[in-house]
Amino acid sequence: MRHRSAKLVPRRLVFAQSLVILALIASGCATQSNNPQAGAAAEEDFHDPWENVNRKIFDFNQVVDRNVIAPAAKGYRAALPEPVRDMVHDFLNNLNEPLNFANATLQGRLGYAKDAFVRFLLNSTIGMAGFVDVAGRWGIPYRDNDLGITFGVWGIPEGPYLVAPILGPSDPRDLAGIGIQAFGDPWNRITSGEPWTLYWIPYLRGALIALDQRSRYLDTLADIERTSLDYYATIRSLYRQRRAALVRGEHGNLPPNPAFTQNAPGEPAASPGSRSQASLASARQNGVEVSRQ
């Protein structure tokens, strides 16, 4: 009995955390004014009412990134050749396909749901458990998806901009999606239930996702930081642009993913001249404008 009750504690904690995050969403929605002038002011303020606190957390995250995450990502990139890193990337993407299928279905994007199902079937079999992206080579692309995007499609407001410790830029809607989706992730359920109690596997998977994503954006984010007058404002703009595009169902030439708050590893940066480069320019411009205020 003691063992059973101990196992239920993490699930209750996750459920309680999800309720708290959903309450944050409600409070964020409640603070939005119906006055058009107030709405315009909120847009000018980038929906960042807690900017002072966010900047302090952002600075803390930068220290952790410079001293822990980025060096680990550089070591990961140096230790493994690119073909091996691509196999790890494809394997992690394949693990996320059941959730991509579920979210695409909830969004009513049945074409995306079909692609996610076919990708998982092909890559799990012909693709050797997902280590080879056979479906991608056959013209069925991988698409980032998560519960935060589903909430956005349903019309739930994103709420105020937040910076989470370690995880980076986010908002109440996306944080709620993370908590609920982690609780319902089939692989988390399998590894933490009977007959297995391998609670460390989800943490290992999260660490691999972080290493994979950070190693893919080492050069891109370093360039953005070097050329931005206000790196915080630029990252905020990039995050908002990327999430808005995903809610609209756009998956090509996305801005780089500056956060660890999404389950799926991000795509490699797009080539120069693409719309992604235009997004980077826009984000940098936002940083310039904020720094001059």
Distance CA(289)–CA(229), nearest Å, equals 9
Please report which confidence band the pLDDT of residue 251 belongs to, taking 50, 70 and 90 as the band edges. Answer: confident
pLDDT for 192 beyond 60: yes
pLDDT for 33 beyond 70: no
- Percent of the chain exceeding pLDDT 90 equals 62
pLDDT for 24 beyond 90: no
pLDDT for 148 beyond 80: yes
pLDDT for 277 beyond 90: no
Number of CB atoms found within 10 A of residue 179's CB: 21
Q: What is the pLDDT of residue 106?
A: 98
* Residues 123 and 94: beta-carbon distance below 8 Å: yes
Closest CA to 215 of 167, 178, 269: 269
Distance CA(260)–CA(229), nearest Å, equals 23
* Residues 174 and 22: beta-carbon distance below 8 Å: no
